[in-house]
Amino acid sequence: MSKDLEYGLLLDFYSFSLTKKQIGVLDMYYNEDFSLAEIAKEYGITRQAALDFIKRGSSKLKRMEEELGLKQKFGVVSEALEQSRDYIKENGEIKLAEKIDNALKIWEDKDGV
């Protein structure tokens, strides 16, 4: 998994632990692929300040994952659901497989809906 994608996922799980400005800067950097100059212009800060926000925010996201492991747990549960769905489909239980598909859609949607 690319580092940018990993931090984008960590941001989804742990944004509650960051300030709104940190979330905005990290989202622009990891999810929107903005440059430091573009982020600095958007927030009225220097490129160095944007880089500092990214370093501190990324470090906090990594620490949160080390402590709580939500991204790792999400991966384990998602994989188990996918394997269960595939097994059930192979054995002709289409309605149950559809329920698992719906559960996976809800599980993978960051808004939970």
Residue 44: which residues within 8 A CB-CB, separation 6 or more?
Answer: none
Residue 96: which residues within 8 A CB-CB, separation 6 or more?
Answer: 88
> How many CB atoms neighbour CB 62 within 10 A?
14
Provide the whole-model pTM. Answer: 0.73
Considering the domain architecture, whether residues 9 and 61 belong to the same structural domain is answered as yes
Structural domains of the chain, count = 2
What does the pLDDT read at residue 87? Answer: 82
On the question of pLDDT at 105 being above 90, the answer is: no
In a domain, 16, yes or no: yes
What does the pLDDT read at residue 113? Answer: 40
Which burial class, exposed, middle or buried, applies to 19 when counting CB atoms under 10 A from its CB (0-12, 13-18, 19+)? exposed
Structural domain harbouring 37: 3-68
In a domain, 113, yes or no: no
CA 81 to CA 35: how far, in whole Å? Answer: 37
Q: Quickly state the pLDDT bin for 75 (edges 50, 70, 90).
A: confident
Mean pLDDT of 102-113: 67
Considering the domain architecture, whether residues 19 and 42 belong to the same structural domain is answered as yes
Q: Which long-range contacts (CB under 8 A, 24 or more apart) does 72-75 make?
A: 74/13, 74/107
What does the pLDDT read at residue 22? Answer: 95
What does the pLDDT read at residue 3? Answer: 58
And the tokens for 16?
A: 């509650």
